[in-house]
């Protein structure tokens, strides 16, 4: 899987080594607009200031490339959950992705939180 953070496909300045965590997705694109969406919509959960820090952007790509588990979201979407990156309450970082073509996905938003019973486990990292 390749993961890029940037404004467009041409502006992907972060590449993460391949993973076989989710065979349905071979590439996830994380655009700056997704980070801005997370800051605006989930600011109280994530923190308005921290979303602008490079360390936050640096936590996103590894969370998608090497999650602790993946669950289904809405139809055509997956939740990449990284339980090693948590907020002060111990809630994991969740990246919501949507399939946009074949095996390519786009990060829609991310937040710290919990998942609900409507999600189906797709994959879980071995301890």
Residue 58 parent element (H or E):
helix 54-65
When divided into structural domains, the chain yields a total of 1
Q: What percent of the chain has pLDDT over 70?
A: 68
pLDDT bucket at 61, cuts 50 / 70 / 90? confident
pLDDT bucket at 117, cuts 50 / 70 / 90? low
Mean pLDDT of 93-107: 85
Question: How many whole angstroms separate alpha carbon 110 and alpha carbon 95?
Answer: 4
Indicate whether 100 pLDDT > 60: yes
The position carrying tokens 């809630």 is 91
pTM across the whole model: 0.78
Structural domain boundaries, residue 10: 2-124
pLDDT of amino acid 19? 64
Taking all residues of the chain, what is their mean pLDDT, rounded to a whole number? 74
């Amino acid at each position: 899987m390749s993961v890029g953070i940037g404004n467009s496909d041409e502006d992907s300045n972060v590449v993460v080594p391949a993973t076989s965590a989710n065979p349905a997705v071979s590439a996830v694109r994380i655009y700056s607009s997704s980070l801005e969406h997370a800051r605006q919509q989930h600011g109280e959960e994530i923190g308005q200031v921290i979303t602008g820090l490079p360390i936050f952007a640096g936590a996103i790509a590894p969370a998608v490339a090497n999650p602790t588990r993946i669950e289904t979201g809405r139809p055509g979407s997956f939740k990449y959950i990284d339980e090693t990156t948590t907020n002060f309450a111990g809630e994991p970082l969740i990246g919501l992705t949507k399939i946009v073509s074949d095996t390519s996905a786009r990060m829609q938003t991310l937040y710290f939180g919990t998942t609900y019973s409507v999600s189906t486990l797709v994959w879980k990292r071995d301890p």
